[in-house]
Structure 1
Amino acid sequence: MMNAFNFDTKAFDTKQFESIFFAPARAYANLAVDYTEKLANAQLDATKAYTDTGLAQLRTLMNVKDAEGLRAYMEGQQKVAKDLAERLKGDAEKVVSLQQDFVQQSQKLTEDNVKQAQATATKAAQ
């Protein structure tokens, strides 16, 4: 009779435990870390671009000296707004693409792990 203190390590198959539990968990963790890194980099890039644009606009505004300069600045605002809208759209598309890729890779990883677990269970039952 075995109890919790007399665990027979020879009867325990660590390879099966590794392939069923730890390997899939590690693979998903790697996928999640990669996704988080890509998302953080995309956010940092977007933040830098928006900050640079805002600071450039402030510097341009500070150089306005007369009515003609103010008119030129205001006309330039339309282009800046258009550029920012395009950038925002592109950034949103990038995030959606990252999310879709993560979901697809997660699904594939799950399917592969289920197949492997079924194969291991079938093998162990024989």
Structure 2
Amino acid sequence: MQQDQMFNAFAEQARSFYQPMRKLNTLMLDHMGKIADYQMDAAKRYTETGLERARAATEIKGMEEFSEFSNRQLEVATELSQQMMDDSLKLAEMGNEMRAQLEQAYSDAGKEATDKASAATEKAASAAEDKASSAASNKPAAATSRAKQN
């Protein structure tokens, strides 16, 4: 019976110890997935733009088309530059969001650990008080019964 209680107590301690790490790992994996998806979408957009421009270059047959291609290249470069800036800002925003979530998770884990430690301390103190009061109440009874026997 006592071994079962010890095993259950150990299992509960292990669960409570690993629970915050499990939450942090879940947050990290979710965030990594979001970033990977975003980067894949960005890479696809940049690749499509590059392929479109390469196809446009193959269709140049004269000076007028070359001039139009060159003008469009400047526009595409400006658009691409703006898109890269937007992507960088979005990734920074995602990083800040992740930082805030991690800070909250660490805070929650710390608060939970503090609460559990306080509860364990209170439980131990209560058990010690109960034991001390039980021992104190048993001493006079034992002394009284010994006195009656004499």
Fold equivalence (TM over 0.5): yes
1:25 aligns with 2:21: yes
Deviation at 1:18, TM superposition (A): 1.4
> Gaps spanning 5+ residues in structure 2: where?
123-150
Which residue, 81, 105, 118 being the options, matches 1:122? Answer: 118
Deviation at 1:16, TM superposition (A): 3.5
Residue correspondences, number? 119
Which residue, 46, 53, 76 being the options, matches 1:50? Answer: 46
Corresponding letter in the other structure for 1:11: M
> Gaps spanning 5+ residues in structure 1: where?
1-7
Over the aligned positions, Cα root-mean-square deviation in angstroms equals 1.4
Q: TM-score w.r.t. structure 2 length?
A: 0.76
Task: Give the Cα separation in 2 of the matches to 1:115 and 1:15.
Answer: 18
The within-5 A match list for 1:9-24 is 9-12=4-7, 13=9, 14-19=11-16, 21-24=17-20
1:107 corresponds in structure 2 to 103
Query: Percent identical across equivalent pairs?
Result: 29
1:92 aligns with 2:117: no
Secondary structure of the equivalent of 2:6? coil
Deviation at 1:55, TM superposition (A): 0.2
Deviation at 1:11, TM superposition (A): 2.4
Secondary structure of the equivalent of 1:10? helix
Greater share of helix:
2
Secondary structure of the equivalent of 1:18? helix
Instruction: Point out 4+ residue stretches in structure 1 off by more than 3 angstroms.
Output: none
For the 8 Å contact 1:31–1:106, the answer to whether it is kept is yes
1:63 aligns with 2:88: no
Relative contact order (C-alpha < 8 Å, sep 6+): which is higher? 1
**CA-to-aligned-CA distance 1:53-85 (integer Å, 9 cap, x gap):** 000000000000000000000010111001001
2:78 corresponds in structure 1 to 82
